[in-house]
């Protein structure tokens, strides 16, 4: 079975969360003090795992502003804290049908809820009790007379009562024995008994232990043998070292019982190799490290108890620097990640039944990419065995490939007409459009990161200055293709970088992605040094930094300078509806006093002398108009031909940097 939805009420800041759905891996995001922890702890109390016990306490957990009116608000009943809906697996439904007959099963979901005063959860099952009883009766082999004596009981209690009156009959007694063996002599309780082994226990984690780097092994074995290792809070770091050895399949007993050096050394090397392979699978921040486990006799000047007996040490060897350091001296992020993997591998191995994991703010000390590694560990190692709900503030912990698996947690406040603020309490939203901007910030960050990455899905990317450049190139390429001339290779992805100043930073951001990136920039004299710096960059491939000036007969140039002045005037007039005396022509364009050959600057200067009712000139509007009015490039006049010749020359150069042209 799998948890599909939940509703939390009457718990700390959560007056009523509203019903919210859950995925197999669900991320809760929201501001500090929004109530994410309260949601997780309310779920934890539904069926807590003995290793992480949690019990609802009325005085501690019920919303304080209503506590004095508790009895009045709930009319003497116990307040419900959590209600959950679970989807049954097909084999679980089959077990119910086999026990009670197909007609008795009304669905494939169950509801499990818990209140403050209950010792256990209350189950609502998809069983028609009367039909279930009829099925049991039909299997008993009664004759018509015997069947008539039983009648048509509607509840298990009625059936048991009737059968007790008929105990002289062997068949009646057999059915009575069968039903009496059900928990509480109830077929509904029997149905719960069938399903309960698959109902998970909830493990809630908010404190994530960190392994001790040095451990006195005789003391560790003593604590393990007497059970204190698993009970005492002050031994949690030592317990992780014990789990660390168990994780590597080389136990403490194995190490302490070894009597020859070669055997001893082989076991430690085996532990080191296993741990290195496992950790590096999910720690991509540094692949030049090895985990090394050593056991030596304590030296007299070491602090007690490490001054005698066998002492185990975990050290990290850096193959690049050829130096090792104690595990405790590594970065907080690494020690956290290492300890987390050890701990949760143990959770997976020790689980006797199904476990539901509730993780409060995991990975806070990790770098963004290490958080992505942790999320990958959730997906690949934990999720196949456990359903997981976790909370986070980090965009890198939001599953950007499945953002809809995130839920927004908000603590809402109602403001009345007098400006009086009254808390509404914590709610959980699935519709992010209704959440405030601060609450959805992690989702925005994750989505922004995902979108930026998606710009580079293709291996070959052309960075241009702005969106207008993309539209011009698309329009020119489309016309060239129509004429069976060379259009832009379909492998190219064009992306606006925002100007030559930002191209270097933009490319550097994605330098680790092994992408084939070129830059196509406008060019002015003041950009010379920036352009040369880009050309010397190791990030962009050799010959991959181009300027428009390379393809026109002038020193400074923008994308608009690919166009013949006459054709550009026609495009601008069409885009802005310029007619009559206001229409732009080649003479007006050439007379514009700008001190530069750049056509776009001359057009800007001309617009500055036009009446105010004419819109201000911008680079994007003519490009957008051209893409929507592609017939403007369909002519055979000299101005159009000169423009297409220059554009084809540029496009051929671009295509030469990606290989043979792909025809769409």
For 223, the domain range is 208-346
Residue identified by tokens 């090895």 is 290
Asked if residue 180 lies in contact with residue 157, where contact means CB atoms within 8 angstroms, the answer is: no
Instruction: List b or e across 470-487, with b for residues whose CB sees 16 or more CB atoms inside 10 angstroms.
Output: bbbbbbbbebbeeeeebb
Quickly count: other Cβ atoms within 10 Å of residue 13's Cβ: 19
Between 448 and 14, the more confident residue is: 14
The residue-averaged pLDDT of 580-588 equals: 91
Q: pLDDT (tens digit, 9 = 90+) per residue, 100-132?
A: 999 999 999 999 999 998 888 999 999 999 999
Q: Mean pLDDT for the chain?
A: 84
| Nearest C-alpha neighbor of 479 from the set 571, 586, 602 | 571
Identify the weakest region by mean pLDDT among 112-126, 254-268, 400-414. 254-268
Six token digits for residue 580: 């009559």
The residue-averaged pLDDT of 334-359 equals: 81
Separation between Cα atoms, residue 63 and residue 68, nearest integer Å: 10
Residue 137 confidence (pLDDT) above 90: yes
Q: For the chain, how are helix, strand and coil distributed in percent, rounded to 5?
A: 50, 20, 35
Q: What is the pLDDT of residue 157?
A: 92
Q: Is residue 280 one of the residues assigned to a domain? A: yes
Residue 191 confidence (pLDDT) above 90: yes
Q: What is the pLDDT of residue 526?
A: 72
Q: Is 50 helix (H, G, I), strand (E, B) or coil?
A: coil
Identify the weakest region by mean pLDDT among 261-265, 277-281, 556-560. 261-265
Six token digits for residue 593: 């006093």
Q: Is residue 242 one of the residues assigned to a domain? A: yes
Q: Is 367 helix (H, G, I), strand (E, B) or coil?
A: coil
Q: Is residue 104 one of the residues assigned to a domain? A: no
Six token digits for residue 88: 């049954």
Q: What is the pLDDT of residue 312?
A: 84
Q: What is the pLDDT of residue 662?
A: 44
Six token digits for residue 434: 């209704």
Asked if residue 313 lies in contact with residue 295, where contact means CB atoms within 8 angstroms, the answer is: yes
Instruction: List b or e across 147-159, with b for residues whose CB sees 16 or more CB atoms inside 10 angstroms.
Output: eeebeebeebebb
Q: What is the pLDDT of residue 394?
A: 81
Asked if residue 449 lies in contact with residue 368, where contact means CB atoms within 8 angstroms, the answer is: no
Percent with pLDDT over 90 in the chain: 38
Residue 439 confidence (pLDDT) above 50: yes
Between 66 and 430, the more confident residue is: 66
Label each residue of 509-565 as H, E or C: HCHHHCCEEEEEECECHHHHHHHHHHHHCCCCCCCCEEEHHHHCCCCCECHHHHCCH
Identify the weakest region by mean pLDDT among 100-104, 167-171, 647-651. 167-171
Q: Is residue 306 one of the residues assigned to a domain? A: yes
0.75 surpassed by pTM: no
The beta-carbon contacts of 363-369 under 8 Å, at least 24 apart in sequence, are: 363/336, 363/337, 363/392, 363/394, 363/397, 364/394, 365/331, 365/332, 365/333, 365/336, 366/333, 366/336, 366/337, 367/285, 367/333, 368/394, 368/395, 368/396, 369/284, 369/285, 369/396
Residue 405 confidence (pLDDT) above 50: yes
The residue-averaged pLDDT of 370-390 equals: 88
Omega cis (within 30) before 661: no
Asked if residue 248 lies in contact with residue 280, where contact means CB atoms within 8 angstroms, the answer is: no
Q: How would you class 69 by CB atoms within 10 Å of its CB: exposed for 0-12, middle for 13-18, buried for 19 or more?
A: exposed
**DSSP structure class, residue 299:** P
Q: Is residue 177 one of the residues assigned to a domain? A: no
Residue 457 confidence (pLDDT) above 50: no
**52-66, 81-95, 390-404, 650-664, range with greatest mean pLDDT:** 81-95
Q: Is residue 322 one of the residues assigned to a domain? A: yes
Q: pLDDT (tens digit, 9 = 90+) per residue, 488-538?
A: 988 887 877 766 666 666 666 555 455 566 677 776 777 777 777 777 666
Q: Is residue 630 one of the residues assigned to a domain? A: no
| Nearest C-alpha neighbor of 112 from the set 155, 142, 81 | 81
The residue-averaged pLDDT of 638-649 equals: 94
Q: For the chain, how many structural domains are there in total? A: 1
For residue 454, name the pLDDT band (cuts at 50, 70, 90). Answer: low
Between 439 and 563, the more confident residue is: 563
Identify the weakest region by mean pLDDT among 321-330, 520-529, 590-599. 520-529
Between 505 and 211, the more confident residue is: 211
| Nearest C-alpha neighbor of 566 from the set 551, 552, 587, 595 | 587
Asked if residue 88 lies in contact with residue 109, where contact means CB atoms within 8 angstroms, the answer is: yes
Instruction: List b or e across 219-251, with b for residues whose CB sees 16 or more CB atoms inside 10 angstroms.
Output: bbbebbeeeebeeeeebbbbbbbbbbbbbbebe
Identify the weakest region by mean pLDDT among 20-34, 298-312, 505-519, 556-570. 505-519
Residue 40 confidence (pLDDT) above 90: yes
Identify the weakest region by mean pLDDT among 284-293, 318-327, 406-415, 436-445. 436-445
Between 542 and 288, the more confident residue is: 288
Identify the weakest region by mean pLDDT among 25-34, 165-174, 182-191, 536-545. 536-545
φ and ψ of 68, to 5 deg: -65, -20
Identify the weakest region by mean pLDDT among 186-200, 360-374, 410-424. 410-424
Q: Is residue 188 one of the residues assigned to a domain? A: no
Residue 477 confidence (pLDDT) above 80: yes
Q: What angle do CA 497, 502, 505 make, to 5 degrees?
A: 105
């Amino acid at each position: 079975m799998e948890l599909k939805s939940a509703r939390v009420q009457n718990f700390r800041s959560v007056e009523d969360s509203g019903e919210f759905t859950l995925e197999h891996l669900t991320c809760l995001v929201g501001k500090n003090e929004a109530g994410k922890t309260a949601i997780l702890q309310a779920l934890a109390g539904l069926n807590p795992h003995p290793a992480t016990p949690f019990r609802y306490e009325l005085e501690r957990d019920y919303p304080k502003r209503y506590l004095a009116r508790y009895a009045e608000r709930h009319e003497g009943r116990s307040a419900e804290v959590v209600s959950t809906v679970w989807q049954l697996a097909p084999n679980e439904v089959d077990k119910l049908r086999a026990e009670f007959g197909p007609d008795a099963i009304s669905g494939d979901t169950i509801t499990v809820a818990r209140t403050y005063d209950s010792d256990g959860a209350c189950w609502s099952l998809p069983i028609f009790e009367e039909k279930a009883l009829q099925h049991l009766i039909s299997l008993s082999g009664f004759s018509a007379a015997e069947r008539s004596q039983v009648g048509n009981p509607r509840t298990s209690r009625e059936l048991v009562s009737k059968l007790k009156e008929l105990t002289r009959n062997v068949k009646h007694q057999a059915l009575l024995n069968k039903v009496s063996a059900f928990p509480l002599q109830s077929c509904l309780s029997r149905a719960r008994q069938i399903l309960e082994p698959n109902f998970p226990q909830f493990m809630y984690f908010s404190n994530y232990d960190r392994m001790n780097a040095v451990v006195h092994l005789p003391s560790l074995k003593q604590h393990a043998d007497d059970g204190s290792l698993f009970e005492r809070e002050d031994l949690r770091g030592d317990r992780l070292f014990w789990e660390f050895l168990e994780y590597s399949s080389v136990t403490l007993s194995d190490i302490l019982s070894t009597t020859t050096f070669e055997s001893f050394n082989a076991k430690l090397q085996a532990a080191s190799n296993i741990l290195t392979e496992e950790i590096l699978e999910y720690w991509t921040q540094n692949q030049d490290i090895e985990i090394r486990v050593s056991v030596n006799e304590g030296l007299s000047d070491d602090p007690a108890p490490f001054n005698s007996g066998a002492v185990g040490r975990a050290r990290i060897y850096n193959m690049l620097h050829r130096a090792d350091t104690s595990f405790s001296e590594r970065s907080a992020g690494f020690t956290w990640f290492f300890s987390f993997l050890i701990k949760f591998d143990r959770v997976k191995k020790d689980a006797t039944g199904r476990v539901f994991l509730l993780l409060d703010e995991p990975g806070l000390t990790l770098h963004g990419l290490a958080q992505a590694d942790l999320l990958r560990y959730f997906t690949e190692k934990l999720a196949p065995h456990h359903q997981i709900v976790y909370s986070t503030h980090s965009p890198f912990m939001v599953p950007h490939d499945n953002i809809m698996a995130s839920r927004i947690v908000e603590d809402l406040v109602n403001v009345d007409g007098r400006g009086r603020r009254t808390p509404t309490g914590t709610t959980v939203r699935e519709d992010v459009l209704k959440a405030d901007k601060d609450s959805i910030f992690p989702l925005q960050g994750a989505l922004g990161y995902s979108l930026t990455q998606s710009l580079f899905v293709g291996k070959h990317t052309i960075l241009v200055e702005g969106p207008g450049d993309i539209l011009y190139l698309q329009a020119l390429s489309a016309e060239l293709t129509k004429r069976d001339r060379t259009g832009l290779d379909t492998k190219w992805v064009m992306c606006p970088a925002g100007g030559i100043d930002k191209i270097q930073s933009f490319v550097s951001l994605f330098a680790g992605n092994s992408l084939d990136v070129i830059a196509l920039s406008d060019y002015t004299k003041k950009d010379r040094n920036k352009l040369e710096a880009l050309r010397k960059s190791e990030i962009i491939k050799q010959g991959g930094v181009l300027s428009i000036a390379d393809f026109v007969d002038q020193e400074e140039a923008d994308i608009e300078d690919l166009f013949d002045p006459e054709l550009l005037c026609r495009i601008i007039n069409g885009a802005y509806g310029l007619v009559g005396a206001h229409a732009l022509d080649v003479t007006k364009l050439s007379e514009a006093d700008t001190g530069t050959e750049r056509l776009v600057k001359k057009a800007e200067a001309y617009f500055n002398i036009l009446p105010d009712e004419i819109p201000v000139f911008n680079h994007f509007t003519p490009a957008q108009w051209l893409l929507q009015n592609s017939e403007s490039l369909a002519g055979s006049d000299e101005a159009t031909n000169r423009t297409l010749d220059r554009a084809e020359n540029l496009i051929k150069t671009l295509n030469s940097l990606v290989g043979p042209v792909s025809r769409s």
